[in-house]
Protein backbone atom coordinates (compact mmCIF):
# COMPACT_ATOMS: atom_id res chain seq x y z
CA UNK A 1 0.00 0.00 0.00
CA UNK A 2 2.98 2.30 0.55
CA UNK A 3 4.29 1.95 -2.99
CA UNK A 4 6.22 5.08 -4.03
CA UNK A 5 4.47 4.80 -7.40
CA UNK A 6 1.08 5.48 -5.79
CA UNK A 7 0.65 8.95 -4.36
CA UNK A 8 -1.93 9.84 -1.73
CA UNK A 9 -4.28 12.78 -2.30
CA UNK A 10 -7.13 14.44 -0.44
CA UNK A 11 -10.31 15.76 -2.01
CA UNK A 12 -12.50 18.06 0.10
CA UNK A 13 -16.06 18.46 -1.12
CA UNK A 14 -17.72 21.77 -0.22
CA UNK A 15 -21.41 21.12 -0.97
CA UNK A 16 -22.66 24.72 -0.84
CA UNK A 17 -23.74 27.13 -3.57
CA UNK A 18 -25.55 30.47 -3.46
CA UNK A 19 -27.36 29.62 -6.73
CA UNK A 20 -27.83 26.24 -8.39
CA UNK A 21 -26.66 26.36 -12.01
CA UNK A 22 -29.18 24.83 -14.38
CA UNK A 23 -26.72 22.33 -15.91
CA UNK A 24 -25.22 21.08 -12.63
CA UNK A 25 -26.01 17.67 -11.13
CA UNK A 26 -23.22 17.71 -8.53
CA UNK A 27 -23.95 17.12 -4.84
CA UNK A 28 -24.57 20.77 -3.96
CA UNK A 29 -27.12 22.66 -1.88
CA UNK A 30 -28.33 26.23 -1.73
CA UNK A 31 -29.24 27.80 1.61
CA UNK A 32 -32.87 26.75 1.43
CA UNK A 33 -31.90 23.12 0.76
CA UNK A 34 -29.57 22.63 3.74
CA UNK A 35 -32.39 21.62 6.13
CA UNK A 36 -30.57 21.92 9.42
CA UNK A 37 -26.99 21.82 8.15
CA UNK A 38 -24.91 24.95 8.71
CA UNK A 39 -21.91 26.13 6.75
CA UNK A 40 -20.35 27.20 10.02
CA UNK A 41 -20.12 23.51 11.03
CA UNK A 42 -18.16 22.52 7.92
CA UNK A 43 -14.67 22.63 9.44
CA UNK A 44 -15.72 20.73 12.56
CA UNK A 45 -17.46 17.97 10.62
CA UNK A 46 -14.71 17.52 8.03
CA UNK A 47 -12.18 17.57 10.88
CA UNK A 48 -13.92 14.60 12.48
CA UNK A 49 -13.71 12.67 9.20
CA UNK A 50 -10.03 13.59 8.83
CA UNK A 51 -9.37 12.14 12.30
CA UNK A 52 -11.28 8.99 11.30
CA UNK A 53 -9.22 8.65 8.10
CA UNK A 54 -5.96 9.02 10.00
CA UNK A 55 -6.96 6.22 12.38
CA UNK A 56 -8.01 3.97 9.49
CA UNK A 57 -4.80 4.46 7.52
CA UNK A 58 -2.57 4.18 10.60
CA UNK A 59 -4.16 0.79 11.32
CA UNK A 60 -2.78 -0.43 7.96
CA UNK A 61 0.64 1.21 8.50
CA UNK A 62 -0.06 3.65 5.69
CA UNK A 63 2.09 6.64 6.60
CA UNK A 64 2.13 8.44 3.25
CA UNK A 65 2.00 12.22 3.29
CA UNK A 66 -0.39 14.08 1.00
CA UNK A 67 0.96 14.90 -2.45
CA UNK A 68 -2.08 16.91 -3.58
CA UNK A 69 -5.17 18.48 -2.02
CA UNK A 70 -8.19 19.70 -3.97
CA UNK A 71 -11.16 21.71 -2.67
CA UNK A 72 -14.09 21.19 -5.05
CA UNK A 73 -17.82 21.59 -4.94
CA UNK A 74 -20.17 23.23 -4.96
CA UNK A 75 -18.45 26.52 -4.36
CA UNK A 76 -15.45 26.19 -2.03
CA UNK A 77 -14.89 29.95 -2.08
CA UNK A 78 -18.35 30.53 -0.59
CA UNK A 79 -16.57 29.65 2.65
CA UNK A 80 -14.40 32.18 4.48
CA UNK A 81 -10.76 31.71 3.51
CA UNK A 82 -10.13 31.02 7.20
CA UNK A 83 -12.23 27.82 6.91
CA UNK A 84 -10.08 26.56 4.04
CA UNK A 85 -6.98 27.40 6.09
CA UNK A 86 -8.41 25.50 9.08
CA UNK A 87 -9.04 22.37 7.01
CA UNK A 88 -5.52 22.55 5.60
CA UNK A 89 -4.13 22.83 9.13
CA UNK A 90 -6.05 19.68 10.12
CA UNK A 91 -4.74 17.79 7.08
CA UNK A 92 -1.21 19.03 7.72
CA UNK A 93 -1.32 17.94 11.36
CA UNK A 94 -2.88 14.55 10.58
CA UNK A 95 -1.03 13.54 7.41
CA UNK A 96 1.65 16.07 6.57
CA UNK A 97 2.25 17.40 3.07
CA UNK A 98 4.99 16.45 0.64
CA UNK A 99 7.64 19.13 0.16
CA UNK A 100 6.10 20.29 -3.13
CA UNK A 101 2.45 19.55 -2.39
CA UNK A 102 -0.05 20.93 -4.89
CA UNK A 103 -3.05 22.50 -3.13
CA UNK A 104 -5.90 23.65 -5.38
CA UNK A 105 -9.13 25.50 -4.65
CA UNK A 106 -11.96 25.85 -7.16
CA UNK A 107 -12.97 29.52 -7.24
CA UNK A 108 -16.20 31.18 -8.32
CA UNK A 109 -15.51 34.67 -9.74
CA UNK A 110 -18.37 36.12 -7.68
CA UNK A 111 -16.74 35.13 -4.39
CA UNK A 112 -13.05 36.06 -4.64
CA UNK A 113 -10.85 39.15 -4.67
CA UNK A 114 -7.23 40.09 -3.95
CA UNK A 115 -7.73 39.84 -0.17
CA UNK A 116 -9.21 36.35 -0.53
CA UNK A 117 -6.35 35.20 -2.76
CA UNK A 118 -3.81 36.60 -0.29
CA UNK A 119 -5.47 34.61 2.49
CA UNK A 120 -5.47 31.43 0.40
CA UNK A 121 -1.79 31.78 -0.37
CA UNK A 122 -0.96 32.41 3.28
CA UNK A 123 -2.75 29.16 4.18
CA UNK A 124 -0.62 27.14 1.75
CA UNK A 125 -2.83 27.09 -1.34
CA UNK A 126 -0.67 26.94 -4.48
CA UNK A 127 -3.29 26.96 -7.24
CA UNK A 128 -6.82 28.14 -8.02
CA UNK A 129 -9.15 26.82 -10.68
CA UNK A 130 -11.28 29.79 -11.75
CA UNK A 131 -14.74 29.02 -13.15
CA UNK A 132 -14.94 31.41 -16.09
CA UNK A 133 -17.11 29.06 -18.26
CA UNK A 134 -17.60 31.69 -21.02
CA UNK A 135 -16.83 35.31 -21.80
CA UNK A 136 -20.19 35.80 -23.56
CA UNK A 137 -23.02 37.17 -21.37
CA UNK A 138 -25.90 35.33 -23.06
CA UNK A 139 -24.04 32.00 -22.73
CA UNK A 140 -23.45 32.66 -19.03
CA UNK A 141 -27.14 33.44 -18.58
CA UNK A 142 -28.13 30.12 -20.16
CA UNK A 143 -25.76 28.40 -17.72
CA UNK A 144 -27.23 30.42 -14.80
CA UNK A 145 -23.78 31.85 -14.06
CA UNK A 146 -24.04 35.24 -12.38
CA UNK A 147 -20.52 36.67 -12.64
CA UNK A 148 -19.50 39.52 -14.93
CA UNK A 149 -16.97 38.19 -17.48
CA UNK A 150 -15.29 41.61 -17.55
CA UNK A 151 -13.89 40.84 -14.08
CA UNK A 152 -11.99 37.72 -15.13
CA UNK A 153 -8.71 39.33 -16.32
CA UNK A 154 -8.45 41.35 -13.12
CA UNK A 155 -9.05 38.27 -10.96
CA UNK A 156 -6.37 36.32 -12.83
CA UNK A 157 -3.89 39.13 -12.23
CA UNK A 158 -4.88 39.41 -8.56
CA UNK A 159 -4.34 35.69 -8.02
CA UNK A 160 -0.95 35.83 -9.70
CA UNK A 161 0.02 38.87 -7.64
CA UNK A 162 -0.82 36.84 -4.53
CA UNK A 163 1.57 34.11 -5.66
CA UNK A 164 -1.14 31.62 -6.66
CA UNK A 165 -1.01 29.73 -9.96
CA UNK A 166 -4.16 30.04 -12.07
CA UNK A 167 -6.10 27.56 -14.17
CA UNK A 168 -9.31 28.62 -15.93
CA UNK A 169 -12.30 26.38 -16.60
CA UNK A 170 -14.56 26.90 -19.62
CA UNK A 171 -17.58 25.05 -21.05
CA UNK A 172 -18.41 24.72 -24.74
CA UNK A 173 -21.56 23.63 -26.54
CA UNK A 174 -24.09 25.51 -24.42
CA UNK A 175 -27.48 25.74 -26.19
CA UNK A 176 -27.51 28.95 -28.23
CA UNK A 177 -23.71 29.26 -28.24
CA UNK A 178 -22.36 29.81 -31.75
CA UNK A 179 -18.89 29.23 -33.13
CA UNK A 180 -18.40 33.02 -33.02
CA UNK A 181 -19.38 33.01 -29.33
CA UNK A 182 -16.87 30.24 -28.63
CA UNK A 183 -14.24 32.12 -30.61
CA UNK A 184 -14.81 35.14 -28.35
CA UNK A 185 -14.18 32.99 -25.28
CA UNK A 186 -11.02 31.52 -26.83
CA UNK A 187 -9.82 35.04 -27.68
CA UNK A 188 -10.37 36.05 -24.06
CA UNK A 189 -8.39 33.03 -22.86
CA UNK A 190 -5.55 33.95 -25.22
CA UNK A 191 -5.38 37.44 -23.70
CA UNK A 192 -4.93 35.93 -20.22
CA UNK A 193 -1.64 34.18 -21.12
CA UNK A 194 -2.54 31.16 -19.03
CA UNK A 195 -0.42 28.16 -18.08
CA UNK A 196 -3.42 25.80 -17.77
CA UNK A 197 -6.93 25.57 -19.22
CA UNK A 198 -9.71 23.02 -18.75
CA UNK A 199 -12.38 22.96 -21.48
CA UNK A 200 -15.40 20.72 -21.00
CA UNK A 201 -18.21 19.86 -23.39
CA UNK A 202 -21.58 20.64 -21.85
CA UNK A 203 -23.36 17.43 -20.89
CA UNK A 204 -27.10 17.62 -20.27
CA UNK A 205 -27.69 15.55 -17.15
CA UNK A 206 -31.08 14.01 -16.38
CA UNK A 207 -32.94 15.77 -13.60
CA UNK A 208 -31.32 19.18 -14.10
CA UNK A 209 -33.18 22.39 -14.87
CA UNK A 210 -31.43 22.52 -18.24
CA UNK A 211 -32.64 19.02 -19.14
CA UNK A 212 -36.20 20.01 -18.26
CA UNK A 213 -36.01 23.14 -20.45
CA UNK A 214 -34.77 21.08 -23.39
CA UNK A 215 -37.49 18.48 -22.86
CA UNK A 216 -40.12 21.23 -22.89
CA UNK A 217 -38.65 22.64 -26.10
CA UNK A 218 -37.72 25.97 -24.51
CA UNK A 219 -34.15 25.69 -25.76
CA UNK A 220 -32.44 23.45 -28.30
CA UNK A 221 -30.42 20.39 -27.31
CA UNK A 222 -26.64 20.63 -27.79
CA UNK A 223 -25.39 19.62 -31.24
CA UNK A 224 -22.71 16.87 -31.12
CA UNK A 225 -21.24 17.97 -34.47
CA UNK A 226 -20.92 21.53 -33.18
CA UNK A 227 -19.26 20.16 -30.03
CA UNK A 228 -16.65 18.43 -32.18
CA UNK A 229 -16.02 21.58 -34.22
CA UNK A 230 -15.63 23.61 -31.05
CA UNK A 231 -13.21 21.07 -29.56
CA UNK A 232 -11.02 21.08 -32.67
CA UNK A 233 -10.99 24.87 -32.71
CA UNK A 234 -10.05 24.97 -29.02
CA UNK A 235 -7.21 22.49 -29.47
CA UNK A 236 -5.85 24.51 -32.40
CA UNK A 237 -6.07 27.79 -30.49
CA UNK A 238 -4.56 26.37 -27.31
CA UNK A 239 -1.58 25.02 -29.26
CA UNK A 240 -1.03 28.52 -30.67
CA UNK A 241 -1.09 29.82 -27.09
CA UNK A 242 1.67 27.37 -26.17
CA UNK A 243 -0.66 24.97 -24.37
CA UNK A 244 -0.57 21.25 -25.19
CA UNK A 245 -3.18 18.64 -24.34
CA UNK A 246 -2.24 16.17 -21.63
CA UNK A 247 -5.77 14.90 -20.93
CA UNK A 248 -8.81 14.96 -23.20
CA UNK A 249 -10.21 18.12 -21.56
CA UNK A 250 -7.00 19.71 -20.23
CA UNK A 251 -4.13 21.70 -21.72
CA UNK A 252 -0.98 23.03 -20.03
CA UNK A 253 2.15 24.99 -20.87
CA UNK A 254 4.50 22.39 -19.38
CA UNK A 255 4.61 19.25 -17.28
CA UNK A 256 5.12 21.48 -14.25
CA UNK A 257 1.82 23.29 -14.81
CA UNK A 258 -0.31 20.17 -15.27
CA UNK A 259 -2.85 19.36 -12.53
CA UNK A 260 -1.12 16.71 -10.45
CA UNK A 261 -4.30 16.10 -8.48
CA UNK A 262 -6.34 15.25 -11.56
CA UNK A 263 -3.49 13.16 -12.94
CA UNK A 264 -3.67 11.13 -9.72
CA UNK A 265 -7.27 10.26 -10.63
CA UNK A 266 -6.42 9.36 -14.22
CA UNK A 267 -3.42 7.27 -13.11
CA UNK A 268 -5.63 5.39 -10.66
CA UNK A 269 -3.70 6.50 -7.58
CA UNK A 270 -5.19 6.78 -4.11
CA UNK A 271 -7.29 9.57 -2.65
CA UNK A 272 -9.52 10.06 0.37
CA UNK A 273 -12.58 12.20 -0.24
CA UNK A 274 -13.79 14.25 2.72
CA UNK A 275 -17.22 15.86 3.04
CA UNK A 276 -20.84 15.10 2.17
CA UNK A 277 -21.12 12.94 -0.93
CA UNK A 278 -17.35 12.68 -1.46
CA UNK A 279 -15.91 9.53 -3.09
CA UNK A 280 -12.71 7.75 -2.06
CA UNK A 281 -10.30 5.29 -3.66
CA UNK A 282 -7.71 3.55 -1.48
CA UNK A 283 -6.06 0.39 -2.73
CA UNK A 284 -8.75 -1.96 -4.00
CA UNK A 285 -11.59 -0.23 -2.10
CA UNK A 286 -13.97 2.39 -3.45
CA UNK A 287 -16.53 4.08 -1.21
CA UNK A 288 -18.76 7.13 -1.05
CA UNK A 289 -20.19 9.28 1.71
CA UNK A 290 -23.71 10.19 2.80
CA UNK A 291 -24.86 12.91 0.42
CA UNK A 292 -26.82 15.43 2.48
CA UNK A 293 -24.69 17.70 4.70
CA UNK A 294 -27.09 17.37 7.66
CA UNK A 295 -27.02 13.56 7.67
CA UNK A 296 -23.27 13.57 7.04
CA UNK A 297 -22.75 15.91 10.00
CA UNK A 298 -24.91 13.76 12.28
CA UNK A 299 -22.86 10.67 11.39
CA UNK A 300 -19.42 12.13 12.03
CA UNK A 301 -20.67 13.85 15.21
CA UNK A 302 -21.71 10.43 16.55
CA UNK A 303 -18.20 9.16 15.90
CA UNK A 304 -19.20 6.81 13.09
CA UNK A 305 -18.00 6.69 9.51
CA UNK A 306 -20.08 8.79 7.07
CA UNK A 307 -19.65 6.06 4.47
CA UNK A 308 -22.88 5.27 2.60
CA UNK A 309 -21.69 2.47 0.34
CA UNK A 310 -18.60 0.71 -0.96
CA UNK A 311 -17.36 -1.69 -3.58
CA UNK A 312 -14.27 -3.74 -4.35
CA UNK A 313 -13.89 -3.93 -8.14
CA UNK A 314 -13.16 -7.27 -9.73
CA UNK A 315 -9.96 -7.81 -11.66
CA UNK A 316 -11.90 -7.30 -14.91
CA UNK A 317 -13.37 -4.05 -13.61
CA UNK A 318 -9.94 -2.78 -12.54
CA UNK A 319 -8.55 -3.58 -15.96
CA UNK A 320 -11.41 -1.64 -17.55
CA UNK A 321 -10.70 1.31 -15.22
CA UNK A 322 -7.02 1.38 -16.15
CA UNK A 323 -7.85 1.34 -19.86
CA UNK A 324 -10.57 4.00 -19.63
CA UNK A 325 -8.53 6.36 -17.48
CA UNK A 326 -5.18 5.74 -19.15
CA UNK A 327 -6.50 6.41 -22.64
CA UNK A 328 -7.74 9.85 -21.56
CA UNK A 329 -4.20 11.09 -20.93
CA UNK A 330 -1.50 11.82 -23.47
CA UNK A 331 0.90 9.24 -22.08
CA UNK A 332 -1.66 6.58 -23.04
CA UNK A 333 -1.56 2.92 -22.06
CA UNK A 334 0.90 0.08 -22.71
CA UNK A 335 -0.58 -2.05 -25.48
CA UNK A 336 0.80 -5.06 -23.60
CA UNK A 337 -1.92 -4.58 -20.95
CA UNK A 338 -4.66 -5.30 -23.52
CA UNK A 339 -6.17 -8.72 -24.02
CA UNK A 340 -5.07 -10.60 -27.16
CA UNK A 341 -8.52 -9.96 -28.64
CA UNK A 342 -8.26 -6.22 -27.98
CA UNK A 343 -4.76 -6.03 -29.49
CA UNK A 344 -6.18 -7.37 -32.74
CA UNK A 345 -8.29 -4.20 -33.00
CA UNK A 346 -5.36 -1.80 -32.71
CA UNK A 347 -4.48 -1.88 -36.42
CA UNK A 348 -8.05 -0.96 -37.39
CA UNK A 349 -8.10 1.91 -34.87
CA UNK A 350 -4.87 3.21 -36.40
CA UNK A 351 -6.20 2.92 -39.94
CA UNK A 352 -9.35 4.87 -39.01
CA UNK A 353 -7.25 7.62 -37.45
CA UNK A 354 -8.25 7.01 -33.82
CA UNK A 355 -4.93 5.76 -32.43
CA UNK A 356 -1.45 7.17 -33.05
CA UNK A 357 0.41 4.74 -35.32
CA UNK A 358 3.93 5.84 -34.33
CA UNK A 359 3.11 5.51 -30.63
CA UNK A 360 1.64 2.06 -31.29
CA UNK A 361 4.89 0.93 -32.93
CA UNK A 362 6.60 1.95 -29.69
CA UNK A 363 4.10 -0.11 -27.69
CA UNK A 364 1.74 2.67 -26.51
CA UNK A 365 -1.95 3.22 -27.16
CA UNK A 366 -2.40 6.98 -27.56
CA UNK A 367 -5.41 8.86 -28.90
CA UNK A 368 -5.14 11.10 -31.95
CA UNK A 369 -7.14 14.32 -32.15
CA UNK A 370 -9.93 12.38 -33.86
CA UNK A 371 -9.55 9.69 -31.22
CA UNK A 372 -10.08 12.25 -28.46
CA UNK A 373 -13.37 13.21 -30.10
CA UNK A 374 -14.38 9.55 -30.22
CA UNK A 375 -12.70 8.34 -27.03
CA UNK A 376 -15.70 6.26 -25.96
CA UNK A 377 -15.57 4.41 -29.29
CA UNK A 378 -11.89 3.56 -28.77
CA UNK A 379 -12.48 2.45 -25.18
CA UNK A 380 -15.33 0.17 -26.22
CA UNK A 381 -13.22 -1.36 -28.97
CA UNK A 382 -10.35 -2.09 -26.59
CA UNK A 383 -12.43 -3.39 -23.68
CA UNK A 384 -15.28 -5.41 -25.26
Which of 251, 266, 281 is the endpoint of a domain? 266
Is pLDDT at 2 greater than 70 in this prediction?
no
Q: Residue 51: which domain range?
A: 8-266
Domain membership flag for residue 149:
yes
One domain, residues 229 and 81: yes
d(CA 54, CA 210) in angstroms, rounded, equals 40
Share of the chain above pLDDT 90, in %: 88
pLDDT band with cut points at 50, 70 and 90 for residue 22: confident
Share of the chain above pLDDT 70, in %: 99
Q: Count the neighbouring beta carbons within 10 Å of the beta carbon of residue 219.
A: 14
pLDDT band with cut points at 50, 70 and 90 for residue 5: low
Half-sphere exposure (CA, 13 Å, Cβ side) for 254?
A: 2
Domain membership flag for residue 234:
yes
What pTM was computed for the model? 0.95
Domain membership flag for residue 103:
yes
Domain membership flag for residue 299:
no
**pLDDT value of position 62:** 92
pLDDT digits (tens, 9 = 90+) for 262-316: 999 999 999 999 999 999 999 989 999 999 999 999 999 999 999 999 999 999 8
Region 77-98: mean pLDDT is 98
Region 327-349: mean pLDDT is 95
Which of 266, 285, 308 is the endpoint of a domain? 266
CATH number for the domain spanning 159: value is 3.20.20.70
pLDDT band with cut points at 50, 70 and 90 for residue 34: confident
**Could you tell me which residues are beta bridge partners of residue 270?**
8
Is pLDDT at 161 greater than 80 in this prediction?
yes
Amino acid sequence: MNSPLRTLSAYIHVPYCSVRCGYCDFNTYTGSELRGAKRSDFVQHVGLEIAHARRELSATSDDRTLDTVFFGGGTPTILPASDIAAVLDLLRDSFGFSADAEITVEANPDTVDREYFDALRASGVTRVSLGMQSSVPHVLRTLDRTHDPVRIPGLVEQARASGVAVSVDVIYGTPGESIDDWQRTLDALGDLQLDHVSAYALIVEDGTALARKIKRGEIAAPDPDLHAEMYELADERFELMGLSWYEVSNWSRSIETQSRHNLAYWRNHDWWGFGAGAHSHIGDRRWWNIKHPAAYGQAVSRGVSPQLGEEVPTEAQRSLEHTMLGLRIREGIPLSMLTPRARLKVAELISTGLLDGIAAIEGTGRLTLRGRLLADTVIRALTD
